[in-house]
Amino acid sequence: MQLRYNFRVYPSAGQRGALSKAFGCARVVFNDGLRARQEAHAAGLPYIKDADLQKQVVTAAKRTEGREWLGEVSSVVLVQSLRDLHTAYRNFFNSVSGKRKGPKVAPPRFKSKHDNRQAIRLTVNGFSLRSDGRLYIAKVGDLYVRWSRQLPAAPTSVTVTKDASNRYWASFVVDTERDVLPELDTEVGIDLGLTYFAVLSDGRKIESPKFLRRAEKKLGRMQRSLSRKEKGSKNRAKARAKVARQHAKVGDRRRDWHHKESTRVIRENQAVYVEDLLVSGLGRTRLAKSVHDAGWAQFLTMLEYKAALYGRTFAKVGRAFPSSQVCSVCGLRDGPKPLHIREWTCGKCATIHNRDHNASRNVLLEGRRIVAAGRAETPNACGAPVRRAYMPARRGEAGTHRAPRRGQ
């Protein structure tokens, strides 16, 4: 199993300039490769192979007057940028042909230097870990890393990113074995909502923290200050950075809380069943801000990969399943109900149901049926290994990162 371990890095002023140069060169090579393939397609020429494209936009481009500065960064960065382009095309072709499941994937687009996230990726030929804990990046130097934990094995690649709040991160890909927990006899169904973030089938309710709502007043004040700054001025750039840092704090708090709650649910239950919500559709309704503030998709992703990591069973119940319409005691389907109805009485067995608790119990029953039918992609459900994919490791579960010491 491959996991990602993210750590905060603190480059010096010179290293920040070298990283900016690497970000720019990787972006230019990606755009040049994309433009070459688009022009070949428009001219009716065959698809340019990866080796030929690399010779054209990297090897030959370094000898030209307009692209000689590509030699100032590591060649590993440029090659990996073209591999990312190849991956984007492959995902697009597989989506069009039906080999890739899920939402349709759009063709690759040109990258901009104004994007909120800049990144470079390096294989083992372009980086190494020093004995003093620093991260060496070719043609950048030794970066100070705030290690919050030890890596379980030697990393196979690293991605250095810069986010909108001007923070730098190093994301290591590590091959690890599953850390299977002792088996339990408890199972749980989860109904996600807005009044409560989640209602579990065992009766426990998880309050919604509403991180964005709590920060709205401060964010509004900072955004009003940003709108008054003159466009293109340095003060506007400073105000924009302040707003980005505040949004980053909100996202960090939400992510940390999701990690803690998802880990608790996985550790306390042998099987976890959830409803497969259409978050993208709910994000276009009048409840969009509350839906995005809850972060259901991120929470479900954490539950899924942690279940695979710890040897738990995880299954999603289809969004068409009428979890709020069926009595969890007798199975009577009582029809749809408006959202303002939070309690209702079954017309057959006269059981008084809480809407969310009844839905979570129905999700539990339907999840058990799915697992019994062998349609869940978990080791405990059908005996097959989980599909191999990059999954984010647990970053910052125990708390927040400390600030760097002076002089570092």
Q: Which residues are marked as active site? A: 191, 275, 356
| Closest to 127 measured CA to CA, from 152, 106, 157 | 157
The helix/strand/coil state of 18 is: helix
- Find the helix packing angle between 13-42 and 75-97, rounded to 10°: 40
For the chain, what is the largest distance between any 2 Cα atoms, rounded to a whole number of angstroms? 82
How far apart are the C-alpha atoms of 254 and 205, rounded to whole Å?
A: 18
The helix/strand/coil state of 333 is: strand
Q: How many CB atoms lie within 10 A of CB 178?
A: 13
- Find the helix packing angle between 211-227 and 234-268, rounded to 10°: 170
Specify which residues 171 forms β-bridges with: 6, 159
Distance set, CA 58 to CA 7, 36, 80, 117, 160 (Å): 30, 12, 11, 23, 21
The helix/strand/coil state of 92 is: helix
The per-residue DSSP string of 391-407 comes to EE---SSS-PPPPPPTT
306 close to 266: Cβ distance less than 8 angstroms: yes
Residue 131 C-alpha from the chain's centroid: 31
The helix/strand/coil state of 362 is: helix
